[in-house]
Structure 1
Amino acid sequence: GKGVGRAILLHLCEVMAAEGLATARLDTHAGNEGAIRLYERCGFIIVWRGREYSKSMGVELEKVHLEKRLADR
């Protein structure tokens, strides 16, 4: 709640843009509402929502994929 996550995320987007990447992509559990709000406030949009198999957990999870065009910073 002190802006640290936002600062880190925006810095990473700047680094990726400086390296020539056009789009940043990330995903999270669909129930992670706080993270989704943070990502959306930083300019990410939801491009997909659905069930996806998690190799690390060995189960299907409800996931959200988000993207941000880095030129739109």
Structure 2
Amino acid sequence: MTTALAITALLLYLAGIATLATALPGAIRNHPTAQHLADTNPTAVALLLALVTIAWPLTIPYALISHLAQRSNR
């Protein structure tokens, strides 16, 4: 059971990376500021995209924690 869950999580993670890898080049080409940054500082853009690609699963817990924090009565 644990192996199946780990394999499912890995496949979901890899699917997210594949989606980002196919969507980001087109998104950069369509956004003038991102295109300018990619032309003037490609190393920084590549490092930022690598960080986003690796850390994309953290957006789900971040969104959940942010939502719960906004609902707090404090």
Q: Is the structural similarity TM-score above 0.5?
A: no
Larger RCO (CA within 8 A; separation ≥ 6): 1
Name the structure with the higher strand share: 1
Name the structure with the higher helix share: 2
Name the larger-Rg structure: 2
TM-score bucket of the superposed structures, by smaller chain: 0.3 to 0.5
TM-score (ref. length: structure 1) = 0.33
